[in-house]
Structure 1
Amino acid sequence: MQILRFPAIGALLIGLVLPQFASTATAAELDKYGGTTAIQGKATGFFHVQEVDGRNWFITPDGNAFFAVALSHMLSGESDLACQNVYGGDANAWLKGSFEKARDMGFNCALGSATSPERNLNGFVDVQKAEKLFREANFPFAVGVILLKHPWEFVDGETLPDIFHLDYEQLIKERAALVCNQYKDDPLCMGYYYGFGAFNQSDQWVNHHFSLPAGSPGREALSDLLIKRYNNDVKKFNTVYGTSLKYMSELKSTFELKYEKKYERRNYPRVGMSLDKDKLADFEAIVSHMCVSLYRLGHESIRRWDKNHLILGSFIKEWALSIDSWKEVAPYVDMIAPQHVNEFISVNEIADATKLPIILSDEYFGFHYPGKAGSLHAGLVSHEARGEVYYANLMRHFKDPQVIGVTYCACMYDQGGDTLAKNNQNGFYSLNGEPREKLIETVTKLNHSVYEQSTNPATTEELKRLHTELFDKWKEHSVRRGH
């Protein structure tokens, strides 16, 4: 498949008038999982991925093409405040109401499971009840075999694990056994994901392992890697790092190697060009080794119990891993799962290099910050603007033959807790249940056109145009515009 190298942002803009899509797939044309009978693959009894006539697809257990459109946080523990306001505190009514609203809007699966652990710290979401609703509606969903905690889940005094330690290996094996034995025969399960965020803070992960006590498996493993890379030549190492080690073996005991924070964003071209090329090569080799160890462990732990379901891998920032690292972990996943499409880093180049399809695993269409107060991260000027960005984003993914699905970073209702404290409005409905009508209308119409759009993939040039239009739309409506 041809690599897409997108040009600098141009002047193309999406018109403000959105097409009035009619759904081209009636209930009779969809199988019970929501796949279109117009495009057929192999029926295996489980979800799998397959290329059909040049386009990648999820294939339903019945053998029909399925494009996933999901909400990452359809059910969230921080919805407890909206539940109180809108449903009088009736969690069951909130759960059912949120799910029905998502289905009415055309969301057709839950790629991030019923709820991710970091979105349910208070235990508000009853996962079993949520999955019961999914089953009653034949609503496909992924399941978590969580390899690493999200930073939000850490308690005071807790540190990162040593991913090379036998205790960690045993923990993941036990976790996979517990989960897979529940879902290994379930055709509604789309596959397993590892959680959000695995190597998004790669500098912290690397530095953590070099700070472990002498003799720790992780410190030993990474020190051995550098010793081998430098052929035990301490003088060469000192020249690169500006250190004064007497022996390379000091990496294993007394010397604490630290990489600067900017190595986290090294895959942005402008950042990577500013870094020392030798240290950067070492850092990449370390991260790649850690990723392969982690992904291999997850793959082997799951495949011991379940050889049928897909492995989605970690839902990870698109800038977190280099193409070379993605290639190294490709044998252990069935798709790449970058969180967002990026103006400067091509997810298509990663897909080409790995020969794997793409899910966008926590895609943005912006947040609103009333009064321009708060972090303003991915902030847009209005909820109507969020709808325009959603339209541009999903159209780009519908038309990309390498993309098999997208799950959006949004909630059905605005959130309480830390999200409210940040003044972040990410819901389709307010905390009091007031609908953002234009946003909902735009999302609903486009979601329901899923097989009208995705069955007609774009040419390379058309996809470049859609990509450009998307980032132009972001720039047009950014709350930071002109700052």
Structure 2
Amino acid sequence: MNELPRRGFLHSSLAFGCGLAATPLLNPARASEVKTTQVAPSGFFTLGKRKDHWWLISPQGAPFFSMGLNHIDPASLRYPENLGIWRDKYGGSTLRWIKESVAPNLQAWGFNSVGWVQEVTVRQWRHSRAFTVDEYRALDMPYCHLLPFTESHQWEQHTVHYDFRSEDWKEWVDYVARSHCAELAEEKNLIGYFYSDCPTWIHNRPYNQWRGPIFDPERLKTEAGRTELSDLADGYYKTIHDAIRRYDKNHLILGDRYEANAPIAMEVIDAAKPYVDVLSFQDFRDPVQNLDEWHKKTGMPVLLADAAKIKWMTKPGEFTPNDGRWYAETLAALHQNPGCVGFHLCGAYQRNKGRRYGLLDEQERPDTMNVDLMKAANQEIVKWMEQTFGG
């Protein structure tokens, strides 16, 4: 892993379990020395190695493999046909809904984190809002938070690319860090920060072809072009890193969530490495193989930040289940990857008419068959962690 002098130095020690254990650290001499971008990681999620395997380390010093669910939006319970549930059962309160529905269900299903709460609103549009700090506190579970530094998402069709060299963009980066990170800096349940969801560094999709990629891939055929992309990406990642660390010295930086099945320039990855702690990927095709390859290629810990096996080409009014058997097989295989620190399922918590799949339907009825398969798979990981590290 490329490391800069600015990266905080820490001695990580692994305790037991894959949840937030309340026991003290084991003998630090048993743990590997690991460097992260964190300046003050003590008491917060960090990274460690044991038995040649990367792990997230909980604030209490326990090894933690993140099994998270993505896309949790209260608007899914506010359609005309289910608005009565929202008003009568939860009193129209998002905090009550999180405390009485979201957190208990996730824990009952064996998930130990929330990967990313923002949800599809309309296809090829921007995602819904993130949780507030009070909503995260109501959740009372480990979670990751996405910082909206740029809107270069491969699925979004409306936003122009930002000029990463401009002073306006740098000022915007500071504003985002100031408005989000200053508020979250002391939160013990926060694992770390994501940036853009599937940024189009050197690729695009048909519905946003009008804007093109951030950087023309044809220019990578020359040394001058490769150097230019390296410089551009270095400025992007350094600017964001420095802004976060002005306001939050504690939490991990999980970086962009790269699309594993689109072209990814090594110039971008190499530029990111000194400024992020984990390489994060979306992969709906072959995440086990791709994450293994990225870990071996870079030596860095990797996170499957978004994945699922579902039917994509659904029509309005058509819904599709999330494949629990695929989830179980993928989770088990990723857990064996010595570089993988977690798997976040592209849920969603409750289906809406944009995404068209979720673990609950609009009337809060669970997809019992697939949820049970996921629960059993999650419990197997917990069992393995307890047997391996003691519990």
Same fold, TM exceeding 0.5?
A: yes
Alignment of 1:270-289 (within 5 A): 279=221, 285-289=227-231
Query: Is the CA contact 1:118–1:152 (under 8 Å) kept in the aligned structure 2?
Result: no
1:351, 1:31 → 2: CA distance? 21
Q: Cα distance, 1:102 vs. partner?
A: 1.4
**Structure 1 equivalent of residue 149 of structure 2:** 147
**Structure 2 equivalent of residue 189 of structure 1:** 190
Q: Cα distance, 1:322 vs. partner?
A: 3.0
Q: Cα distance, 1:203 vs. partner?
A: 5.1
**Structure 1 equivalent of residue 113 of structure 2:** 109
Q: Tell me, what secondary structure is at the counterpart of 1:202?
A: coil
**Structure 2 equivalent of residue 311 of structure 1:** 253
**Structure 2 equivalent of residue 130 of structure 1:** 135
Query: Is the CA contact 1:199–1:320 (under 8 Å) kept in the aligned structure 2?
Result: no
More helix by share: 1
**Structure 1 equivalent of residue 166 of structure 2:** 165
Q: Tell me, what secondary structure is at the counterpart of 1:434?
A: coil
Query: Is the CA contact 1:150–1:197 (under 8 Å) kept in the aligned structure 2?
Result: yes
Alignment of 1:17-416 (within 5 A): 33=20, 44-75=42-73, 77-81=75-79, 84=83, 86-88=85-87, 90-92=92-94, 93-96=96-99, 97-112=101-116, 114-115=117-118, 127-134=132-139, 137=140, 139-149=141-151, 151=153, 159-199=160-200, 202=203, 279=221, 285-318=227-260, 319-340=262-283, 342-343=285-286, 346-367=290-311, 373=315, 383=321, 386-416=323-353
Query: Is the CA contact 1:428–1:436 (under 8 Å) kept in the aligned structure 2?
Result: yes
Q: Tell me, what secondary structure is at the counterpart of 1:130?
A: helix
Q: Deviations over 1:36-84 (max 9, x none)?
A: 9898867821111111111110001111101101112133644533852
One-letter code of the match for 1:442? L
1:331, 1:206 → 2: CA distance? 31
**Structure 1 equivalent of residue 36 of structure 2:** none
One-letter code of the match for 2:165? F
1:173, 1:51 → 2: CA distance? 32
2:154, 2:293 → 1: CA distance? 31
Query: Is the CA contact 1:40–1:63 (under 8 Å) kept in the aligned structure 2?
Result: no
2:47, 2:120 → 1: CA distance? 26
Closer, same or farther in 2 for the Cα pair 1:30/1:50, shift >3 Å? closer
Query: Is the CA contact 2:44–2:251 (under 8 Å) kept in the aligned structure 1?
Result: yes
Query: Is the CA contact 1:206–1:287 (under 8 Å) kept in the aligned structure 2?
Result: no
Q: Tell me, what secondary structure is at the counterpart of 1:100?
A: helix
Q: Cα distance, 1:395 vs. partner?
A: 1.1
Q: Tell me, what secondary structure is at the counterpart of 1:44?
A: coil
Q: Cα distance, 1:190 vs. partner?
A: 1.3
- Sequence identity of aligned pairs in percent? 17
Query: Is the CA contact 2:152–2:200 (under 8 Å) kept in the aligned structure 1?
Result: no
Q: Cα distance, 1:433 vs. partner?
A: 2.5
Closer, same or farther in 2 for the Cα pair 1:38/1:171, shift >3 Å? closer
Query: Is the CA contact 2:219–2:225 (under 8 Å) kept in the aligned structure 1?
Result: no
Q: Deviations over 1:204-261 (max 9, x none)?
A: 8999599xxxxxxx9xxx8xxxxxxxxxxxxxxxxxxxxxxxxxxxxxxxxxxxx5xx
**Structure 1 equivalent of residue 8 of structure 2:** none
RMSD over aligned CA atoms reads 4.1
TM-score, normalisation: structure 1: 0.62
Q: Cα distance, 1:406 vs. partner?
A: 1.3
**Structure 1 equivalent of residue 38 of structure 2:** none
Q: Cα distance, 1:199 vs. partner?
A: 2.7
2:364, 2:312 → 1: CA distance? 16
Q: Cα distance, 1:107 vs. partner?
A: 1.2
- Where in structure 2 are there 5+ consecutive unaligned residues? 2-15, 32-40
Q: Tell me, what secondary structure is at the counterpart of 2:303?
A: strand
Q: Tell me, what secondary structure is at the counterpart of 2:372?
A: helix
1:287, 1:366 → 2: CA distance? 35
Bigger shift: 181-190 or 56-65? Answer: 181-190
- Where in structure 1 are there 5+ consecutive unaligned residues? 2-28, 211-217, 223-258, 264-275, 458-483
TM-score, normalisation: structure 2: 0.74
